[in-house]
Chains A and B, each alone.
Chain A
């Protein structure tokens, strides 16, 4: 995909504004919500990179989020990697390592199709959680791993915010690049009709594996930042089905398969979610709120915000005698 001035400007404005945010707003609790918003935006974008583009619904990405967090925690326990900003420099390595680990796992999981794939990945989540409980010598089981607390003094949340933002930017950049590349075409071909794609010579397995590993790498990096942010990594919180469903929900809300959709979904839902958690977190009422929001989105807006807006805009333009350069639908030509 070529760099268009409009696209470049859009990216610069969005990320410029996001980067400036913690320097303008000083209230810690707002920046804290910002950290979680960016975290979910990154998770949803990474999820979209695989599941949105290939149509394979993976419900196991939270397993790799947990793996990333645990990798950071375990590295802290065994090596002196320094405090302060130093651990952030390890992120690319952690992402790469977890992505490599995920390749054989994905290879097995991707032998299955559609619904079976969704179930197998969901079980992957439970398997990793169980491993985190059981491998006590490495993970300390349900006691959890403690990560040394850095002294960022004032504006404690800001470094984490910026780290999350960096990973999110990386995720958006990769998605943008892939959408314009041959890999993107291959992934979309898999989504539309995998058998046909294979028939005309698309290396579907390779394409799926690369997308999966990329998605996992990004997810693991976000998990590592999260672990460093919370200081304590427990099996229940690091490999949490709720985190998974949150990322999926946000992608659905924003629009699957779009570039900015997952991020928009996260920006809408996470502040609401954090608000519900602080107000109703003690009783499990927030689960009911969560479920209700989910059901409403799936029933009323199954396509997501961006595609729905797109459709509205197209319809409006057609009704007002559109200028001739309107392209019918942004659906890609598949080979």
Chain B
């Protein structure tokens, strides 16, 4: 029982970080019907940037978020302007899936050329420190990572719920044409929302660099998780993505303890298939034909 509770703690803490990455992915889908397959690669890119800042300038990995996130925001806006907006075809949605995949390959190639394929990890002085509360261990890095993720998610929520920009984003999600008629600059909203989605990847990437060793090929593993999270939560639903991410964290770490670590990431796919059988649109998704 002790082990299971410990696994649950770990699962929730890990799930928080994945929630951060997935929230950007699902937000971008909601606003412009684009699945950004490069989200995983962008997380890894941010992880490398953060790693370099930490290694060469001794900046604390958590503080690197303040530098990496704006950079990645600009990159995201640029990607949207150059690659995604210029898709002209009635099948722009499907094409965007492929073009972001190409982007992921490109990022993997550049990272491979710059950093080689050896595994790296940011290891600050407190990397192995942990607190013990009534017999349960809380790794410091993971708690900070979770706190950072929650903080960014809350900021994201406030941005979407309380600001004028957030209102125009939500209006574009609900009905792009009407939003445009009411004076929302849809192109601007799309570009900014894409940048926002990518900067959540940046924040998560800095954290990821401390939690797991990574190399340029790590994005395949990441994107398969992220995609399954957003599908399970329901495409376009940020809240759904958060719930699904925590659920994934829980299932994975409990299976790792109770059955075998080898099957932990597989178990999540089983949950996903079971839920899709009952609700093809995911937990909080709208039926696709209505979209």
State the A residues within 8 Å of B (CB). Answer: 57, 59, 108, 111-116, 118-120, 122-123, 126-127, 130-131, 134, 195, 241-242, 245, 248-249, 252, 283-292, 294-295, 298-299, 302-303
- Given A108-B273, A288-B106, answer yes or no on A57-B94 (Cβ-Cβ < 8 Å): yes
Q: In the complex the two chains form, what is the Cα distance from A295 to B231 in whole Å?
A: 26
B105 touches A245 (CB 8 A): yes
Closest CB in chain A relative to B33 CB, distance in Å: 7
CA distance A130 to B89 in the complex (A): 35
Asked whether A116 lies within 8 Å of B83 as measured between CB atoms, the reply is no
- A130–B280 Cα gap in the complex (Å)? 23
Given A116-B231, A299-B83, 10 additional A-B pairs, CB 8 A: A112-B231, A113-B288, A120-B231, A123-B224, A123-B227, A195-B289, A245-B98, A252-B98, A283-B113, A284-B216
> What are 27 A-B interface contacts by the 8 Å CB criterion?
A57-B97, A108-B273, A113-B289, A115-B35, A115-B93, A115-B94, A116-B280, A116-B281, A116-B282, A119-B227, A126-B224, A127-B269, A130-B265, A130-B269, A131-B266, A134-B266, A242-B105, A245-B105, A248-B98, A252-B98, A287-B108, A288-B105, A290-B105, A294-B101, A295-B83, A295-B103, A302-B88
Nearest residue (CB) in A for B287 is A113
Task: Kindly state the separation between the CA atoms of A130 and B267 in the bound complex, as whole angstroms.
Answer: 11
Instruction: Give the residue of B86, B94, B281, B289 whose beta carbon is less than 8 angstroms from that of A299.
Output: B86
Cα A291 to Cα B94 with chains together (Å): 17
* Chain B window 265-288, contacts with chain A (Cβ cutoff 8 Å), 1 for yes, 0 for no: 110010011001100111001001
Are A127's CB and B266's CB within 8 A?
yes
* A115 and B98 alpha carbons, distance in the complex (Å): 11
| Partner pick for B110 among A57, A288, A294, CB 8 A cutoff | A288
> With a CB–CB cut-off of 8 A, which chain B residues contact A134?
262-263, 266
Interface flags, B151-192, vs A, CB<8A=1, else 0: 000000000000000000000000000000000000000000
Give the contacting residue for B87; candidates A59, A248, A291, A302; CB below 8 A.
A302
Q: How many Å lie between the Cα of A285 and that of B110 in the bound state?
A: 7
**A295 contacts B102, CB within 8 Å?**
yes
Asked if B245 CB lies within 8 Å of chain A CBs, one says no
Most buried by A among B98, B108, B280: B98
Most chain B CB neighbours (cut-off 10 Å) among A114, A119, A303: A119
Report yes or no: A111 in contact with B277, Cβ–Cβ below 8 A: yes
Interface centre among A116, A131, A242, A252, by most B CB within 10 Å?
A: A116
Contact (Cβ within 8 A) A284 B113: yes
CB of B98 within 8 A of CB of A298, answer yes
Interface string of B6-39 (1 = CB under 8 A from A): 0000000000000000000000010001010000
Inter-subunit contact A287/B97 (CB<8 Å): no
Q: Which residues on A sit within 8 Å (CB–CB) of B263? A: 134
B contacts, CB < 8 Å to A? 29, 33, 35, 83, 86-89, 91, 93-95, 97-99, 101-103, 105-106, 108-110, 112-113, 117, 216, 220-221, 224, 227-228, 230-231, 235, 262-263, 265-266, 269, 272-273, 276-277, 280-282, 285, 288-289
User: Secondary structure at chain B's binding surface: helix, strand, loop or mixed?
Assistant: helix
Question: Which residues of the partner chain B approach A126 to less than 8 Å between Cβ atoms?
Answer: 220-221, 224, 269
A252 to B, closest residue via Cβ: B98
Q: Which residues of A contact B29 (CB under 8 A)?
A: 115
Contact A287-B280, Cβ < 8 Å, known A118-B97, A126-B224, A294-B102 = no
CB of A242 to closest CB in B, whole Å: 8
- Chain B residues contacting A114 (CB-CB under 8 Å) are 93-94, 288
Say how far A55's CB is from chain B's closest CB, in angstroms.
8
CA of A280 to CA of B227 in the docked complex: distance in angstroms? Answer: 31
Rounded to whole Å, the gap between the CB of A167 and the closest CB of chain B is 25
- In the assembled complex, the CB of A132 is this many whole angstroms from the nearest CB of chain B, namely 11
Which residue of B94, B95, B98, B108 is within 8 Å of A284 (Cβ)? B108
Which residues of the partner chain B approach A120 to less than 8 Å between Cβ atoms? 231, 276
**Is the pair A287, B105 in contact by a Cβ cutoff of 8 Å?**
yes
A284 to B113, CA, bound (A): 6
Q: Which residues of B contact A248 (CB under 8 A)?
A: 98
Given A116-B231, A116-B281, A252-B98, also A287-B109 (CB < 8 A): yes
Minimum CB–CB distance from A221 to chain B (whole Å) comes to 25
**Which residues of A are found within 8 Å of B228, using beta-carbon distances?**
119, 123
Say how far B28's CB is from chain A's closest CB, in angstroms: 12
- Taking a contact as CB atoms under 8 Å apart, the answer to whether A298 and B288 are in contact is no
Contact: B106 with A130, CB < 8 Å?
no
